[in-house]
Structure 1
Amino acid sequence: MLPYVLLLTAAALWGTLGIFGKLAVQQGLTPLEVAFWRAVMAGSLYFLHSRFSQDPPLKSRDAWATVLFGLLGGSVFYGSYQLAVNTGGVSLASVLLYTAPAFVAIMARLFLKEAFGLRNALLVTLTIVGVALISLGGGSKVNVTAVSLGWGLLAGFTYALYYLYGKLFFNRYAPISLYALALPVGALGLLPFVDFHSKTPAAWGILICIGVVSTYFAYWAYSSALKRIPAVQASVIASLEPVIAALLAAVVFREFLSPLALVGAAVVLGAVLVTTLPAKK
């Protein structure tokens, strides 16, 4: 029972990212500053965690690959997600984030030479249909524009890189050690684009919630659960994240997807469930 509680906790904490991000912007911060402090705070905790665990250092070539991943999976991913929230709304950004499995299927075929079978074809098709329905449907306080869709899809694409990177490196090193390098690099990548503003105690509190609670502790809960239950079950439960985010957005910001967009969101999440089906050529 405990692993499932941890997974639900991780999904719930991830689901608060957009809420906290939007609240931070209302406190006068820019989306990229929010992304910067998220990377700084979570990266610092991962670094301390890795030193406490005395994990072995990364080899030189793997360290450079991790630096590149930090720029894409830290700088671009964190930045694009916050920009998606700011331009389109929490519910739209969180659903578009889960286009990641379709990007994974395509990139795994291109870069890892994995088979692209019927399951992956169905996954990509459902994702495209779902995004199209969301685009046509819109909603109340949900801004579906080319810009918001672009940031959301970029967030989904860079989120997909976590799978490819993990496939190559998570069996060689402790993930905490990898994030201890990747996220500080991600913060440095964002730094030139950040306009810093004075912050109230409330703003600092929101940033701490984003970096510590919604990022560091969420990942800790997810990785702890993943040691005890199959990855397929974990991925399905984690897909509750956009559902939780949409519910919170409705309560806090009065954001509501239209009926057609809700169908599209359901299709996108249904595509995630397709990843649990047996692969067939």
Structure 2
Amino acid sequence: MIMRSVVVLPAPLGPSRPKTLSRGIATERSLTATWPAKDLVTPESWMALSLNCVIIGPTMSSVRDAGGGSGGAEAPSQLDSEREFIPRERDDAKGLFYVVVSTVAYGSLPILGKLAFAAGVRTTGLLAWRFTGACVLFALLARRAPELAWGTRFTLWGLGVIFVGNTFCYFAALLTIPASTASLIFYTYPVIVTLLSAALGLDRLTLRGVGAAVMAVSGCAITAGTVMGVSPRGAVLALAAAFIYAAYVMLGSRFAAGIPSETVSLHVTQACAAIFLPLALLKGGLWLPPSPVSWGLVACVAVVCTVVPIRAFLAGLARIGPARAAVVSSLEVLVTIALAAAVLRERIGPRQWAGGALILGGVLLQNLGALRRMGRVSVSRPPRAAV
């Protein structure tokens, strides 16, 4: 019996110990490494289980069968059987936490951006300083990272170009349609990710996943307001931004798996800075921020709204996959509304509360299975293994 999608690596410090190489949904099913099951039945080996436990299923009968018979490995104990979900749920919990952190950080971007514009910072200049500063910080974080092959580096720079395309389309849409309408159209990307993941065979299309995506997008629609009087050009640009970002999420899950998140983030921001800096120079927007307050806002945009969310999202994406990460990211609308009310003194009406409830419901529905298993692990303590 062969177990797939499990990679065992030596720990860099301390005694040798199996360690899971974080992978997204795409790489679990396309970039597989095969390991004999008999080599993974010791108690330490459970740290090397796949993210989503797809290879094992609800029981360990397949591993027992592999260890049965003369000359086979000894069957795992009841302790091993009852602890089969623990590695997955630890990764699930970390992945959800990272994506939520990314969502909160991204949700603050419109607020900090408006404050920066009010302080005299231009749009192209803000984007250029944002990605240049983030690139420098990621270079410091990734200074000890292993060297990548040039082919891998060009692939990661390609992800950055895709990220730039999403930014271009979204800001172009904002020039012709209201921000609430652009946000509504853009946040159809969780549905796009879910459907494309199923169409490409990267994830199964389940009723719960479709329902969660529909609830999240419906909540965004109610929260954003009406969609009457939309410019066709602006709507197409906003929809293009949604498709491009969906492609970024899926390709990031596929090609960034197994690479440190700070290394991936460095290459993404390098590509963004390489494009936005010349653009700002051509448009005359690469001016120094005019005051200490504007400098502080630019720094917050570079760190809080770029370094933190990009690194956290890529780390979470590798653990929970593109479909779930996209749905959880729908919480960004709620974060933006809450910060707008607290910082910009905007009023939150009944529509926003209703839309927020749908978004939260979609996120909880999408992650219901993981939450149940996490509760099972936390309340049931497995017995000690017999010596």
TM-score (norm 2): 0.55
Report deviation, 1:76: 2.6
More deviation in 39-48 or 255-264?
A: 255-264
Post-superposition Cα deviations, 1:24-58, rounded to whole Å, max 9, x if no partner, equal 2223333333222222111221122111xx22222
Structure 1 residue 43 corresponds to structure 2 residue 131: no
Report deviation, 1:208: 0.5
More deviation in 101-110 or 250-259?
A: 250-259
Could you tell me which runs of 5 or more consecutive residues in structure 2 were left unpaired when the two chains were aligned.
Answer: 1-92, 370-387
Structure 1 residue 76 corresponds to structure 2 residue 165: yes
Structure with more of its chain in helix, by fraction: 1
Task: Indicate the residue corresponding to 1:105 in structure 2.
Answer: 194
Q: Which residue among 31, 34, 57 is the counterpart of 2:123? A: 31
Task: Indicate the residue corresponding to 1:171 in structure 2.
Answer: 257
Task: Indicate the residue corresponding to 2:273 in structure 1.
Answer: 187
User: What amino acid maps onto 2:343 in structure 1?
Assistant: V
DSSP 3-state at the match of 1:173: coil
CA–CA distance in structure 2, aligned partners of residues 103 and 213 of structure 1: 27
Alignment of 1:88-167 (within 5 A): 98-126=187-215, 129-130=218-219, 132-133=221-222, 137=226, 153-167=239-253
Number of aligned residues: 272
Could you tell me which runs of 5 or more consecutive residues in structure 1 were left unpaired when the two chains were aligned.
Answer: none
Report deviation, 1:267: 3.6
CA–CA distance in structure 1, aligned partners of residues 157 and 323 of structure 2: 28
CA contact 1:31–1:79 (8 Å) conserved in 2: no
Structure 1 residue 212 corresponds to structure 2 residue 303: yes
Task: Indicate the residue corresponding to 2:148 in structure 1.
Answer: 58
Quickly say closer, same or farther: Cα 1:131–1:151, change in 2 above 3 A.
farther
CA–CA distance in structure 1, aligned partners of residues 94 and 366 of structure 2: 24
- Root-mean-square deviation (CA, aligned residues, Å) is 4.3
More deviation in 176-185 or 55-64?
A: 55-64
Post-superposition Cα deviations, 1:167-201, rounded to whole Å, max 9, x if no partner, equal 21333311211111121111222334333345212
Post-superposition Cα deviations, 1:102-150, rounded to whole Å, max 9, x if no partner, equal 1211332344554333234434544554455456537xxxx97667655
CA contact 1:137–1:260 (8 Å) conserved in 2: no
Quickly say closer, same or farther: Cα 1:274–1:103, change in 2 above 3 A.
farther
TM-score (norm 1): 0.72
